[in-house]
Amino acid sequence: METKVFDHNTVAAAAKLIQAGEVVAFPTETVYGLGADATDPKAALKVYAAKHRPADNPLIVTVADPAMVARYATITPAAQQLMDAFWPGPLTIILDILPGALSMVVTGGLQTAAFRMPANALTREMIRLADRPIVGPSANLSGKPSATRPEHVLHDFDGAIAGILDDGPTTVGVESTVIDMTVQPPAILRPGEVTPQMLAPYIGEVATDRHKVGAKETPKAPGMKYKHYAPTAQVVVVDHPADWPAAIAWATAHHQPFGVMATDAVLTTLPAAVPTYSLGANLASATRSLFAGLRWFDLHPTVTLILAEAFAPEGLGVAYMNRLLKSAGNEHFQPDED
C-alpha cells in the first residue's frame, strides 16, 4: 500500500482513514505513535501486526479531551486532578475501565487501560474529527528505538501503513510518564518528562521502584519486559566525564570502528576520525536526540559499538537513563577493564 503523508491542510483526510479502520501514524510531543480506531478491534489488530508487537502488551488509548475518557473509564477525583494539571501533556494515566467498554485487543485482557491526551494540537484535531479515541503505541517496530521524526516512521513502516500525519520532529524525545492510578500509592510504571516531584503536590507520594532497569520482579507495565530501544550496534554507557579518555582508548584497541553519542563538550575532546552523533548541549537536548542518534547509527552498520554519555538520574535524567540503559542492555564502561 502507498503510505500517504498528511499535514495541517489535509488532517480531515487522515481522520477519514482512521474512521475507515486504517492505521495512521501521528505526532505527539514525546514520540510518534501508530494510530487506529480504539473502538474497532480489527483496526487495533492491524497496529499489533504492523509493529510485530506481542499481543499481551496493551495499547495506550489516545484522546482529544478528558470527556472522551469518561466514555470508557471511571475518573477518580485524584485522576481528575492530574488531568486538570498535566493534560494536554506527557502523562499517561492508568484507570479502571467500565466493564466491556474496550476490546481485549486494546487492553491486552486487563481490567484497566492507559489514557493519554497529547500536547500536539494537530493530532488532537485528527482525533476530534474522527470522533473516537485512537490506540497509540510508539511508531517503531517492536524492540527498535522509538520514532521522533517522520522519516523514522517511514523507515519502519513505509508501504505498511495507510498514512502519517507529519508535524516535524517531536520536542520531548522520550515517551510519556505512565502512572497507575488503580493502586495505592499510585505507581510510576515508566519514567518520563513528568517527574514524581511534579506529581507530588497533587497526589502525594508515588511508588517509583517499578521501572528500574535490571529489577528482578515481574514488570507491571507489560511493555517493560521486552528488549527495547536496541540499535544494531552494542551500546556501552560512559558514566563519568572523567572516563572518556579511558573509554576511547579501550574502544580504539578492541572495537574498531566504534561511534560516540555525547554532548558537544565531550565531542570536542575526541580524535577526529571517530564517527559521532551530537546530543547537543544539555540533558534536554540529549533526551530529544537520543532515539534519533541510535537510529542514525543503524544507518551506519559498520559501527558495531556505540559509547554513549550518561546523565545524573535526577529529574528528566531518570527518563533519559531508563531508555539509554535499556538500549545498552545495562552495559557500562568499566574504567579498570584492561
Among 63, 119, 224, 306, binds ligand TXA (CB under 6 A): 224
Closest approach of ligand TXA to the CB of residue 182, in Å: 8
Do 187 and 102 form a contact (C-beta atoms < 8 A)?
no
Q: Output Rg (C-alpha) for the chain, integer angstroms.
A: 20
- Using CA atoms, how far apart are residues 59 and 55, in angstroms rounded to an integer? 9
- Using CA atoms, how far apart are residues 163 and 25, in angstroms rounded to an integer? 6
- Using CA atoms, how far apart are residues 155 and 49, in angstroms rounded to an integer? 16
Which CB atom, from 133 or from 137, has the smaller least distance to Mg ion? 137
Closest approach of ligand TXA to the CB of residue 257, in Å: 32
Contacts of 265 (CB under 8 A, 6+ apart): 281
Residue 134 near ligand TXA by CB under 6 A: no
Residue 138 near Mg ion by CB under 5 A: yes
Among 88, 136, 145, 150, binds ligand TXA (CB under 6 A): 136
Residue 206 near ligand TXA by CB under 6 A: no
Which CB atom, from 28 or from 138, has the smaller least distance to Mg ion? 138
Q: Give the helix ranges, DSSP H, for 2-71.
A: 11-19, 41-51, 66-70
Residue 28 near ligand TXA by CB under 6 A: yes
Residue 130 near ligand TXA by CB under 6 A: no
Do 30 and 116 form a contact (C-beta atoms < 8 A)?
no
The one-letter amino acid code at 118 reads P
Residue 58 near ligand TXA by CB under 6 A: yes
Q: Which residues bind ligand TXA (CB under 6 A)?
A: 28, 30-31, 33, 57-60, 90, 92, 94, 110, 112-114, 116, 118, 136-138, 175-176, 178, 189-190, 220-224
